[in-house]
Copies of this chain bind each other. A is one copy, B any other.
Amino acid sequence: MAISEFDLIDRFFARAADRSAPGVVAGIGDDCAVLQLEPGERLATSIDTQVQGRHFMFDTPPVHIGYRAVAAAVSDLAAMGAQPRGMTLALTLPKADESWLQGFSEGLHEASRNFGCPLIGGDLTRGPLTITIAVFGALPPDRMLARSGAQPGDQLWVSGSLGDAAAALRVLAGEWPGPAEEAQYLLRRFYSPSPRLALGQQLLEHGATAAIDVSDGLLADVGHIAHASGVRIVVDSKSLPLSDVLFKFPDIKQALTWALTGGDDYELCFCLPAGAIAPTGCARIGKVVRGSGVECDFAIEESRGFRHF
């Protein structure tokens, strides 16, 4: 017997806790979801697509696909300094595969709980596997972390460590030369990124002049800040924060390349006025000067780190 999309939504996606989350006036089940922000708050929204064969592989466990899709979308809220309030899911599926849906929805709900971002609506269609998530967050009336405010004299910072997600692709290819616990660490970083929500909200208070999440690769993302702000940004490769695993990696050129060009780390990269101190866990990795473009003392091989369509 064919299963209707409504049965699938009821079974795998509609959750009472999401329907009664703070600010949710109407959740799954009507023509629109309805959110109520606090007086004066602004709405931040982003939309993010993951395509099978491009953002994840055919054999990626669905629980990881669900978790990672939510984390990637929520990371854009972190990069604006916004607080998550809800998300909608447009899921295109080749067939109603219940075991796949079970895993996918588990990962999705787990990330939703971890990031405080209830699922409030969606659309289920048939076609090539594609996952699109629209996220909604709240911003205070007078502030946001745009990409466009960096000033010459500012310093460039990044949270956490860089390059782990790129190194994880070696693990997935079965080519990781190190011990199993290193491989496990890298896979965790790849499959379960931690959008820096608390940091983004702190940076609103700390007077950050610009911010972005590292999703295309550090140099590419720094380039977005430079372009939007009309400045040049100098990145110091010797200051890049590497995890213990990458720091110990025998080929340091490879490790730096991962850190500079690997996407999907979902750390925050941001600018602070000179002399300002960043929150704990962030490293100073460069500076903002007059001009345009990005400069780095480490030469990357051609065609890495910039996505062409």
Q: Knowing A136-B43, A147-B29, A306-B4 are in contact, say whether A48-B130 is a contact too (CB < 8 A).
A: no
Q: Give every chain B residue within 8 A of A32 (Cβ-Cβ).
A: 44-46, 76-77, 79-80, 82, 137
Q: In the complex the two chains form, what is the Cα distance from A308 to B8 in whole Å? A: 11
Q: Which residue of B lies closest to A148 (CB)?
A: B30
Q: Give every chain B residue within 8 A of A30 (Cβ-Cβ).
A: 80, 146-148, 228
Q: Give every chain B residue within 8 A of A122 (Cβ-Cβ).
A: 47
Residue of B29, B40, B50, B88 touching A45 (CB-CB under 8 A): B88
Q: A309 and B132: CB pair below 8 A?
A: no
Q: B4 and A309: CB pair below 8 A?
A: yes
Q: Give every chain B residue within 8 A of A5 (Cβ-Cβ).
A: 307, 309
Q: Give every chain B residue within 8 A of A228 (Cβ-Cβ).
A: 29-30
Segment of A89-97, A168-176, A280-288 in the binding face: A89-97
Q: B92 and A130: CB pair below 8 A?
A: yes
Q: In the complex the two chains form, what is the Cα distance from A137 to B205 in whole Å? A: 30
User: A226 → chain B, closest Cβ, in Å?
Assistant: 13
Determine how many copies of this chain the complex contains. Answer: 2
Q: Which residue of B lies closest to A7 (CB)?
A: B309
For A45-86 the 0/1 string (1 means CB < 8 A from B) is 111111111110000000000000000000011011010000
Q: Knowing A32-B79, A34-B42 are in contact, say whether A47-B96 is a contact too (CB < 8 A).
A: no
Q: Give every chain B residue within 8 A of A212 (Cβ-Cβ).
A: 31
Interface residues in A277-309 by Cβ distance below 8 A to B read: 306-309
Q: Which of A29, A30, A36, A79 has most B Cβ within 10 Å?
A: A30
Q: In the complex the two chains form, what is the Cα distance from A25 to B43 in whole Å? A: 9
Q: Does A241 belong to the interface (CB within 8 Å)?
A: no
The 9 A-B pairs at the shortest CB distance, nearest first, are namely: A2-B308, A51-B127, A31-B79, A128-B128, A32-B44, A134-B134, A47-B88, A132-B132, A32-B80
Q: Residues of A with Cβ closer than 8 Å to B?
A: 2-5, 8, 25-26, 29-37, 39-40, 42-55, 76-77, 79-80, 82, 88-90, 92-93, 95-96, 120-128, 130, 132, 134, 136-137, 139, 144-148, 211-213, 228, 306-309
